[in-house]
Amino acid sequence: MKRNLTVILLSVVLSVTAAVIITNYINESPGTFFYSSDEPSSLRQVVLEHQNFPDFTYAAESCVDGVVFVKVVKREKNREASILEHFFGYGNPYSMPRESVNSGSGVIISPDGYIATNNHVVANGQQIEVTLNDNKTYPATLVGADPVTDVALLKVEAQGLPVIPFGDSDSLRLGEWVLAIGSPFNLRSTITAGIVSAKGRSLPDMRGEFKIESFIQTDAAVNPGNSGGALVNTKGELVGINTAIASNTGSYTGYSFAVPVSIVKKVVDDIKEFGSVQRAVLGISMVELTQELASLAGMKGDFSGVYIAEINKSGAAYKAGVREGDILVAISGKKMKNPSHVQATINGYKPEDVVEILIFRDGKEIKMEVTLQGEANAVAMADDNSAKVMGATLGEPDKDLLRKLGLRGGVEVKSLEKGKFKDAGIGKGLIITYINQTPVTSVKEALDVIKNAKRGLLIEGVYSNGDVYYYGVGV
Protein backbone atom coordinates (compact mmCIF):
# COMPACT_ATOMS: atom_id res chain seq x y z
CA MET A 1 0.00 0.00 0.00
CA LYS A 2 2.82 2.38 0.99
CA ARG A 3 4.66 1.58 -2.22
CA ASN A 4 1.62 2.39 -4.38
CA LEU A 5 1.09 5.68 -2.54
CA THR A 6 4.73 6.66 -3.08
CA VAL A 7 4.49 5.95 -6.80
CA ILE A 8 1.34 8.07 -7.09
CA LEU A 9 2.90 11.01 -5.21
CA LEU A 10 6.06 10.80 -7.28
CA SER A 11 3.98 10.83 -10.50
CA VAL A 12 2.08 13.92 -9.36
CA VAL A 13 5.31 15.77 -8.48
CA LEU A 14 6.89 14.93 -11.83
CA SER A 15 3.74 16.00 -13.74
CA VAL A 16 3.55 19.35 -11.93
CA THR A 17 7.26 19.99 -12.49
CA ALA A 18 6.97 19.21 -16.21
CA ALA A 19 3.93 21.49 -16.54
CA VAL A 20 5.75 24.40 -14.87
CA ILE A 21 8.81 23.98 -17.09
CA ILE A 22 6.72 23.86 -20.28
CA THR A 23 4.63 26.88 -19.24
CA ASN A 24 7.72 28.95 -18.44
CA TYR A 25 9.30 28.00 -21.73
CA ILE A 26 6.24 29.02 -23.71
CA ASN A 27 5.84 32.33 -21.83
CA GLU A 28 9.53 33.29 -21.93
CA SER A 29 10.56 32.15 -25.41
CA PRO A 30 9.12 33.05 -28.78
CA GLY A 31 7.63 29.96 -30.31
CA THR A 32 7.62 28.95 -33.94
CA PHE A 33 4.73 26.81 -35.07
CA PHE A 34 4.03 25.23 -38.43
CA TYR A 35 0.58 24.73 -39.83
CA SER A 36 0.04 22.37 -42.75
CA SER A 37 -3.17 22.12 -44.75
CA ASP A 38 -4.30 19.05 -46.63
CA GLU A 39 -1.86 19.95 -49.38
CA PRO A 40 1.61 18.57 -48.48
CA SER A 41 3.31 21.54 -50.18
CA SER A 42 1.20 24.12 -48.31
CA LEU A 43 3.28 24.91 -45.25
CA ARG A 44 3.00 28.24 -43.45
CA GLN A 45 5.14 29.50 -40.60
CA VAL A 46 3.56 31.41 -37.74
CA VAL A 47 5.75 33.13 -35.13
CA LEU A 48 4.23 33.92 -31.75
CA GLU A 49 6.05 36.47 -29.62
CA HIS A 50 5.77 36.75 -25.83
CA GLN A 51 2.03 37.32 -25.97
CA ASN A 52 -0.37 35.03 -27.72
CA PHE A 53 -2.61 38.05 -28.28
CA PRO A 54 -1.54 41.33 -29.95
CA ASP A 55 -0.67 44.37 -27.86
CA PHE A 56 -1.77 47.60 -29.54
CA THR A 57 -0.53 50.00 -26.88
CA TYR A 58 2.77 50.86 -28.58
CA ALA A 59 1.18 51.58 -31.96
CA ALA A 60 -1.69 53.54 -30.42
CA GLU A 61 0.43 55.67 -28.09
CA SER A 62 3.15 56.38 -30.66
CA CYS A 63 0.77 57.31 -33.50
CA VAL A 64 -2.15 59.14 -31.90
CA ASP A 65 -0.25 62.46 -31.77
CA GLY A 66 0.48 62.21 -35.50
CA VAL A 67 -3.20 62.37 -36.48
CA VAL A 68 -4.95 65.76 -36.66
CA PHE A 69 -8.53 67.00 -36.79
CA VAL A 70 -9.28 68.86 -40.04
CA LYS A 71 -11.98 71.53 -40.17
CA VAL A 72 -13.03 72.87 -43.58
CA VAL A 73 -15.23 75.90 -44.18
CA LYS A 74 -17.03 76.09 -47.52
CA ARG A 75 -18.90 79.18 -48.70
CA GLU A 76 -21.71 78.62 -51.17
CA LYS A 77 -22.36 81.39 -53.66
CA ASN A 78 -25.89 82.81 -53.54
CA ARG A 79 -27.99 82.42 -56.66
CA GLU A 80 -28.87 85.60 -58.53
CA ALA A 81 -31.99 87.28 -57.21
CA SER A 82 -35.04 87.17 -59.45
CA ILE A 83 -36.98 90.23 -60.67
CA LEU A 84 -39.66 89.55 -58.05
CA GLU A 85 -37.04 89.56 -55.31
CA HIS A 86 -35.55 92.85 -56.54
CA PHE A 87 -38.77 94.78 -57.04
CA PHE A 88 -41.20 93.23 -54.58
CA GLY A 89 -38.88 92.37 -51.71
CA TYR A 90 -39.12 88.61 -51.79
CA GLY A 91 -35.99 87.22 -50.15
CA ASN A 92 -32.79 89.17 -49.58
CA PRO A 93 -30.61 89.54 -52.68
CA TYR A 94 -27.80 91.06 -50.57
CA SER A 95 -27.52 88.25 -48.02
CA MET A 96 -24.06 86.88 -47.20
CA PRO A 97 -22.92 83.60 -48.80
CA ARG A 98 -23.97 80.58 -46.82
CA GLU A 99 -21.25 78.71 -44.94
CA SER A 100 -21.02 74.99 -44.36
CA VAL A 101 -18.46 73.26 -42.17
CA ASN A 102 -17.04 69.83 -42.93
CA SER A 103 -14.58 67.88 -40.86
CA GLY A 104 -12.24 64.96 -41.24
CA SER A 105 -8.80 63.79 -40.23
CA GLY A 106 -5.23 64.12 -41.46
CA VAL A 107 -1.83 62.50 -40.90
CA ILE A 108 1.36 64.44 -40.16
CA ILE A 109 4.01 63.08 -42.53
CA SER A 110 6.88 65.52 -41.87
CA PRO A 111 7.95 67.53 -38.80
CA ASP A 112 7.83 70.81 -40.78
CA GLY A 113 4.06 70.68 -41.21
CA TYR A 114 3.09 68.57 -44.25
CA ILE A 115 -0.17 66.69 -43.66
CA ALA A 116 -1.79 64.03 -45.86
CA THR A 117 -5.57 63.74 -46.01
CA ASN A 118 -8.36 62.92 -48.48
CA ASN A 119 -9.27 65.15 -51.41
CA HIS A 120 -12.98 64.81 -50.61
CA VAL A 121 -12.34 66.22 -47.12
CA VAL A 122 -10.86 69.51 -48.36
CA ALA A 123 -12.32 69.89 -51.88
CA ASN A 124 -13.73 73.39 -52.55
CA GLY A 125 -12.83 74.55 -49.05
CA GLN A 126 -12.17 78.27 -48.65
CA GLN A 127 -10.72 77.94 -45.16
CA ILE A 128 -8.89 74.93 -43.69
CA GLU A 129 -7.86 74.56 -40.06
CA VAL A 130 -6.11 71.66 -38.34
CA THR A 131 -6.08 70.86 -34.64
CA LEU A 132 -3.38 68.68 -33.13
CA ASN A 133 -3.91 66.11 -30.40
CA ASP A 134 -2.62 68.65 -27.85
CA ASN A 135 -5.37 71.10 -29.00
CA LYS A 136 -2.99 73.48 -30.79
CA THR A 137 -4.72 74.88 -33.88
CA TYR A 138 -3.11 76.06 -37.13
CA PRO A 139 -4.47 77.49 -40.39
CA ALA A 140 -3.62 75.14 -43.25
CA THR A 141 -2.86 75.70 -46.92
CA LEU A 142 -3.87 73.24 -49.62
CA VAL A 143 -0.64 72.43 -51.43
CA GLY A 144 -2.29 70.10 -53.91
CA ALA A 145 -4.86 67.37 -54.35
CA ASP A 146 -5.44 64.41 -56.65
CA PRO A 147 -9.10 63.45 -57.15
CA VAL A 148 -8.09 60.26 -58.99
CA THR A 149 -6.59 58.72 -55.83
CA ASP A 150 -8.53 60.92 -53.37
CA VAL A 151 -5.29 62.13 -51.76
CA ALA A 152 -4.57 65.75 -50.75
CA LEU A 153 -1.57 67.48 -49.20
CA LEU A 154 -1.87 70.27 -46.63
CA LYS A 155 0.81 72.51 -45.09
CA VAL A 156 0.86 74.29 -41.73
CA GLU A 157 3.56 76.68 -40.53
CA ALA A 158 5.00 74.71 -37.63
CA GLN A 159 8.17 72.82 -36.73
CA GLY A 160 8.95 69.74 -34.67
CA LEU A 161 5.57 68.09 -35.20
CA PRO A 162 5.09 64.40 -34.32
CA VAL A 163 5.29 62.21 -37.43
CA ILE A 164 3.95 58.77 -38.27
CA PRO A 165 6.65 57.00 -40.34
CA PHE A 166 5.73 55.35 -43.63
CA GLY A 167 5.41 51.59 -43.60
CA ASP A 168 5.21 49.07 -46.46
CA SER A 169 1.63 48.56 -47.57
CA ASP A 170 2.71 46.03 -50.20
CA SER A 171 3.95 43.64 -47.50
CA LEU A 172 0.68 43.63 -45.55
CA ARG A 173 -0.70 40.15 -44.99
CA LEU A 174 -4.31 39.07 -44.91
CA GLY A 175 -5.37 38.77 -41.28
CA GLU A 176 -2.70 41.20 -40.06
CA TRP A 177 -3.81 43.51 -37.26
CA VAL A 178 -4.18 47.22 -38.05
CA LEU A 179 -5.43 50.31 -36.19
CA ALA A 180 -7.58 53.14 -37.57
CA ILE A 181 -7.00 56.55 -35.95
CA GLY A 182 -9.18 59.60 -36.63
CA SER A 183 -12.05 61.80 -35.49
CA PRO A 184 -15.37 60.07 -36.25
CA PHE A 185 -18.41 62.19 -35.36
CA ASN A 186 -15.93 64.81 -33.97
CA LEU A 187 -14.73 62.28 -31.37
CA ARG A 188 -11.08 63.25 -31.70
CA SER A 189 -8.20 60.80 -31.38
CA THR A 190 -10.42 57.73 -31.61
CA ILE A 191 -8.59 54.43 -32.12
CA THR A 192 -10.21 51.24 -33.44
CA ALA A 193 -8.66 47.88 -34.30
CA GLY A 194 -9.27 45.29 -36.98
CA ILE A 195 -7.55 43.00 -39.43
CA VAL A 196 -6.68 43.31 -43.10
CA SER A 197 -9.71 41.72 -44.76
CA ALA A 198 -8.58 42.06 -48.38
CA LYS A 199 -6.01 43.83 -50.55
CA GLY A 200 -6.30 45.43 -53.98
CA ARG A 201 -10.01 45.97 -53.49
CA SER A 202 -11.86 48.24 -55.97
CA LEU A 203 -15.15 50.03 -55.39
CA PRO A 204 -17.73 50.96 -58.04
CA ASP A 205 -17.72 54.61 -59.10
CA MET A 206 -21.32 55.59 -59.84
CA ARG A 207 -20.26 58.78 -61.66
CA GLY A 208 -18.20 56.87 -64.21
CA GLU A 209 -15.03 58.83 -63.46
CA PHE A 210 -11.59 57.28 -63.85
CA LYS A 211 -10.21 56.28 -60.47
CA ILE A 212 -7.15 54.45 -59.28
CA GLU A 213 -8.59 52.12 -56.71
CA SER A 214 -6.53 49.47 -54.99
CA PHE A 215 -7.84 49.77 -51.46
CA ILE A 216 -6.83 47.97 -48.30
CA GLN A 217 -10.05 46.53 -46.86
CA THR A 218 -10.25 46.18 -43.07
CA ASP A 219 -12.86 45.54 -40.43
CA ALA A 220 -11.54 48.33 -38.20
CA ALA A 221 -14.50 50.59 -37.36
CA VAL A 222 -14.45 53.72 -39.56
CA ASN A 223 -17.19 56.35 -39.60
CA PRO A 224 -17.77 59.85 -41.05
CA GLY A 225 -14.91 62.00 -39.78
CA ASN A 226 -12.34 59.20 -40.05
CA SER A 227 -11.65 60.17 -43.68
CA GLY A 228 -8.03 61.23 -44.09
CA GLY A 229 -6.96 59.54 -40.87
CA ALA A 230 -4.27 56.93 -40.35
CA LEU A 231 -4.30 53.19 -40.82
CA VAL A 232 -1.24 51.86 -38.97
CA ASN A 233 0.27 48.45 -38.30
CA THR A 234 1.27 47.17 -34.87
CA LYS A 235 4.78 48.60 -35.37
CA GLY A 236 3.30 52.11 -35.45
CA GLU A 237 3.91 52.59 -39.18
CA LEU A 238 1.52 54.26 -41.61
CA VAL A 239 0.18 51.73 -44.12
CA GLY A 240 -2.85 53.62 -45.44
CA ILE A 241 -5.14 56.65 -45.36
CA ASN A 242 -8.71 55.77 -44.33
CA THR A 243 -11.01 56.83 -47.14
CA ALA A 244 -14.35 55.06 -47.44
CA ILE A 245 -16.82 52.64 -45.93
CA ALA A 246 -19.25 50.18 -47.50
CA SER A 247 -22.60 50.86 -45.88
CA ASN A 248 -26.28 51.15 -46.66
CA THR A 249 -26.78 53.52 -43.72
CA GLY A 250 -23.85 55.92 -44.05
CA SER A 251 -22.24 54.54 -40.91
CA TYR A 252 -19.87 51.65 -40.32
CA THR A 253 -21.32 48.21 -40.91
CA GLY A 254 -18.20 46.07 -40.94
CA TYR A 255 -16.16 47.12 -43.98
CA SER A 256 -13.78 50.05 -44.37
CA PHE A 257 -11.23 50.96 -47.01
CA ALA A 258 -7.89 52.78 -47.02
CA VAL A 259 -5.64 54.13 -49.79
CA PRO A 260 -2.33 52.21 -49.51
CA VAL A 261 0.60 54.30 -48.33
CA SER A 262 2.55 53.29 -51.47
CA ILE A 263 0.06 55.35 -53.51
CA VAL A 264 -0.09 58.16 -50.92
CA LYS A 265 3.68 58.57 -50.94
CA LYS A 266 3.85 58.73 -54.75
CA VAL A 267 1.09 61.38 -54.94
CA VAL A 268 2.58 63.49 -52.13
CA ASP A 269 6.10 63.38 -53.60
CA ASP A 270 4.81 64.40 -57.05
CA ILE A 271 2.79 67.30 -55.67
CA LYS A 272 5.82 68.56 -53.74
CA GLU A 273 8.23 68.24 -56.66
CA PHE A 274 6.13 69.00 -59.73
CA GLY A 275 2.99 70.71 -58.45
CA SER A 276 0.86 67.98 -60.02
CA VAL A 277 0.73 64.19 -60.11
CA GLN A 278 3.01 62.70 -62.75
CA ARG A 279 0.80 59.77 -63.64
CA ALA A 280 2.05 57.10 -66.01
CA VAL A 281 -0.40 55.19 -68.21
CA LEU A 282 -0.16 52.03 -70.31
CA GLY A 283 -3.03 52.92 -72.61
CA ILE A 284 -5.08 49.74 -72.19
CA SER A 285 -8.55 48.78 -70.97
CA MET A 286 -8.64 45.61 -68.87
CA VAL A 287 -11.14 43.10 -67.54
CA GLU A 288 -10.86 40.32 -64.99
CA LEU A 289 -9.35 37.15 -66.42
CA THR A 290 -11.86 34.29 -66.49
CA GLN A 291 -11.43 30.66 -67.43
CA GLU A 292 -13.18 31.33 -70.75
CA LEU A 293 -10.92 34.27 -71.65
CA ALA A 294 -7.83 32.33 -70.61
CA SER A 295 -8.87 29.45 -72.86
CA LEU A 296 -9.42 31.82 -75.81
CA ALA A 297 -5.83 32.99 -75.40
CA GLY A 298 -4.57 29.42 -75.27
CA MET A 299 -3.70 29.47 -71.58
CA LYS A 300 -4.06 26.03 -70.02
CA GLY A 301 -4.15 24.88 -66.40
CA ASP A 302 -3.72 27.52 -63.70
CA PHE A 303 -4.15 31.05 -65.07
CA SER A 304 -3.30 34.52 -63.77
CA GLY A 305 -3.16 38.03 -65.16
CA VAL A 306 -5.63 40.48 -66.73
CA TYR A 307 -7.30 40.36 -70.14
CA ILE A 308 -6.61 43.32 -72.45
CA ALA A 309 -9.99 44.16 -73.95
CA GLU A 310 -9.10 47.43 -75.72
CA ILE A 311 -5.91 49.31 -76.50
CA ASN A 312 -5.11 52.90 -77.37
CA LYS A 313 -3.22 52.81 -80.67
CA SER A 314 -1.26 55.91 -79.73
CA GLY A 315 -0.51 54.61 -76.25
CA ALA A 316 2.61 53.13 -74.67
CA ALA A 317 1.49 49.49 -74.69
CA TYR A 318 0.55 49.47 -78.39
CA LYS A 319 3.87 51.04 -79.38
CA ALA A 320 5.66 48.26 -77.48
CA GLY A 321 3.75 45.56 -79.37
CA VAL A 322 0.85 44.75 -77.04
CA ARG A 323 -2.43 43.92 -78.78
CA GLU A 324 -6.08 43.38 -77.91
CA GLY A 325 -6.69 39.87 -76.62
CA ASP A 326 -3.29 39.58 -74.95
CA ILE A 327 -3.10 38.62 -71.30
CA LEU A 328 -0.92 40.87 -69.15
CA VAL A 329 0.78 38.43 -66.78
CA ALA A 330 3.43 40.47 -64.97
CA ILE A 331 4.97 43.94 -64.66
CA SER A 332 8.64 44.21 -63.64
CA GLY A 333 8.56 40.60 -62.46
CA LYS A 334 5.49 41.09 -60.28
CA LYS A 335 2.52 38.90 -61.21
CA MET A 336 -0.70 40.83 -61.81
CA LYS A 337 -3.85 39.63 -60.04
CA ASN A 338 -6.56 41.98 -61.34
CA PRO A 339 -7.04 45.39 -63.05
CA SER A 340 -6.76 47.23 -59.72
CA HIS A 341 -3.39 45.60 -59.13
CA VAL A 342 -2.21 46.77 -62.56
CA GLN A 343 -3.39 50.33 -61.86
CA ALA A 344 -1.66 50.44 -58.48
CA THR A 345 1.57 49.07 -59.94
CA ILE A 346 1.72 51.49 -62.89
CA ASN A 347 0.79 54.36 -60.57
CA GLY A 348 4.13 53.81 -58.84
CA TYR A 349 5.98 54.92 -61.99
CA LYS A 350 6.44 58.26 -63.73
CA PRO A 351 6.02 59.12 -67.42
CA GLU A 352 9.05 58.08 -69.51
CA ASP A 353 9.95 55.27 -67.08
CA VAL A 354 10.73 51.99 -68.87
CA VAL A 355 9.15 48.83 -67.45
CA GLU A 356 9.34 45.21 -68.50
CA ILE A 357 6.02 43.48 -69.00
CA LEU A 358 5.20 39.83 -69.58
CA ILE A 359 2.24 39.01 -71.82
CA PHE A 360 0.69 35.71 -72.92
CA ARG A 361 -0.29 35.30 -76.57
CA ASP A 362 -0.94 32.28 -78.78
CA GLY A 363 0.16 29.79 -76.15
CA LYS A 364 3.45 31.42 -75.18
CA GLU A 365 4.82 34.16 -72.95
CA ILE A 366 6.49 37.24 -74.47
CA LYS A 367 8.59 39.87 -72.69
CA MET A 368 8.38 43.48 -73.82
CA GLU A 369 9.83 46.80 -72.70
CA VAL A 370 7.31 49.64 -72.45
CA THR A 371 8.15 53.34 -72.19
CA LEU A 372 5.29 54.72 -70.14
CA GLN A 373 3.45 57.83 -71.25
CA GLY A 374 1.99 60.66 -69.18
CA GLU A 375 -1.58 61.71 -68.61
CA ALA A 376 -2.85 64.95 -70.08
CA ASN A 377 -5.13 66.10 -67.28
CA ALA A 378 -2.51 66.43 -64.55
CA VAL A 379 -4.46 68.76 -62.27
CA ALA A 380 -3.27 68.82 -58.68
CA MET A 381 -5.47 71.39 -57.00
CA ALA A 382 -8.79 72.76 -58.13
CA ASP A 383 -11.76 74.74 -56.86
CA ASP A 384 -14.00 77.42 -58.33
CA ASN A 385 -11.33 80.14 -58.16
CA SER A 386 -7.94 78.46 -58.47
CA ALA A 387 -6.17 75.37 -59.78
CA LYS A 388 -2.68 73.96 -59.85
CA VAL A 389 -1.81 72.26 -63.11
CA MET A 390 1.52 71.26 -64.67
CA GLY A 391 3.40 73.36 -62.12
CA ALA A 392 1.34 76.54 -62.62
CA THR A 393 -1.17 78.00 -60.20
CA LEU A 394 -4.08 79.48 -62.15
CA GLY A 395 -6.50 81.99 -60.66
CA GLU A 396 -8.86 84.85 -61.35
CA PRO A 397 -7.16 88.04 -62.61
CA ASP A 398 -7.77 91.45 -61.08
CA LYS A 399 -10.84 93.08 -62.63
CA ASP A 400 -9.16 96.50 -62.88
CA LEU A 401 -6.32 94.92 -64.85
CA LEU A 402 -8.80 93.26 -67.20
CA ARG A 403 -10.46 96.63 -67.85
CA LYS A 404 -7.09 98.26 -68.43
CA LEU A 405 -6.17 95.61 -71.02
CA GLY A 406 -9.63 95.68 -72.61
CA LEU A 407 -10.31 92.01 -71.81
CA ARG A 408 -13.68 90.52 -70.97
CA GLY A 409 -12.10 87.72 -69.00
CA GLY A 410 -9.22 85.32 -68.67
CA VAL A 411 -7.19 83.18 -66.28
CA GLU A 412 -4.02 84.49 -64.66
CA VAL A 413 -0.85 82.51 -64.00
CA LYS A 414 -0.42 83.39 -60.33
CA SER A 415 2.77 81.41 -59.69
CA LEU A 416 5.09 78.91 -61.35
CA GLU A 417 7.01 75.89 -60.11
CA LYS A 418 8.83 73.10 -61.89
CA GLY A 419 6.53 71.76 -64.59
CA LYS A 420 5.45 71.93 -68.22
CA PHE A 421 4.13 75.50 -68.09
CA LYS A 422 7.48 76.81 -66.88
CA ASP A 423 9.37 74.62 -69.36
CA ALA A 424 7.33 76.18 -72.19
CA GLY A 425 8.56 79.66 -71.18
CA ILE A 426 5.31 80.93 -69.69
CA GLY A 427 5.89 83.70 -67.17
CA LYS A 428 4.13 84.69 -63.98
CA GLY A 429 1.34 87.21 -64.56
CA LEU A 430 0.29 85.96 -67.99
CA ILE A 431 -3.47 86.30 -68.45
CA ILE A 432 -4.53 83.34 -70.56
CA THR A 433 -7.32 84.22 -72.95
CA TYR A 434 -7.38 81.21 -75.29
CA ILE A 435 -6.36 77.54 -74.97
CA ASN A 436 -6.40 75.54 -78.20
CA GLN A 437 -8.30 78.44 -79.81
CA THR A 438 -11.07 78.13 -77.22
CA PRO A 439 -11.80 81.29 -75.18
CA VAL A 440 -11.41 80.82 -71.43
CA THR A 441 -12.91 83.21 -68.90
CA SER A 442 -12.71 81.10 -65.74
CA VAL A 443 -10.50 78.49 -64.11
CA LYS A 444 -13.15 75.83 -64.71
CA GLU A 445 -13.25 76.57 -68.43
CA ALA A 446 -9.46 76.39 -68.62
CA LEU A 447 -9.38 73.03 -66.84
CA ASP A 448 -12.07 71.60 -69.10
CA VAL A 449 -10.00 72.42 -72.19
CA ILE A 450 -6.78 71.07 -70.62
CA LYS A 451 -8.40 67.81 -69.55
CA ASN A 452 -9.79 67.20 -73.04
CA ALA A 453 -6.53 67.99 -74.84
CA LYS A 454 -5.11 65.00 -76.72
CA ARG A 455 -1.79 66.14 -78.18
CA GLY A 456 -0.82 69.50 -76.71
CA LEU A 457 -1.90 72.98 -75.67
CA LEU A 458 -1.67 76.19 -77.69
CA ILE A 459 -1.93 78.98 -75.14
CA GLU A 460 -2.58 82.62 -76.04
CA GLY A 461 -2.26 85.27 -73.37
CA VAL A 462 -1.54 88.88 -72.48
CA TYR A 463 0.94 90.29 -69.97
CA SER A 464 0.21 93.37 -67.85
CA ASN A 465 2.13 95.61 -70.30
CA GLY A 466 -0.21 94.58 -73.12
CA ASP A 467 2.18 92.24 -74.95
CA VAL A 468 0.48 89.22 -76.50
CA TYR A 469 2.32 85.87 -76.45
CA TYR A 470 1.70 82.35 -77.75
CA TYR A 471 3.08 79.20 -76.14
CA GLY A 472 3.03 75.51 -76.95
CA VAL A 473 2.74 73.09 -74.01
CA GLY A 474 3.11 69.36 -74.48
CA VAL A 475 0.82 66.99 -72.63
Distance separating alpha carbons of residues 144 and 244, to the nearest angstrom? 20
**Catalytic residue numbers, as ranges:** 120, 150, 227
CB atoms within 10 A of CB 302: 6
Sequence-separated (6 or more) residues with CB below 8 Å from residue 136: none
Q: Which of 159, 172, 119 is nearest to 142 (CA)?
A: 119
- Amino acid at the residue 409: G
Using DSSP's 3-state secondary structure scheme, residue 184 falls into helix
Strand pairing report for 230-233 and 238-245: antiparallel
Sequence-separated (6 or more) residues with CB below 8 Å from residue 148: 210, 211, 212, 277, 279
Distance separating alpha carbons of residues 248 and 272, to the nearest angstrom? 37
- ∠ CA 98-102-106 to the nearest 5 degrees? 150
The single-letter DSSP state of residue 429 is: T
Using DSSP's 3-state secondary structure scheme, residue 293 falls into helix
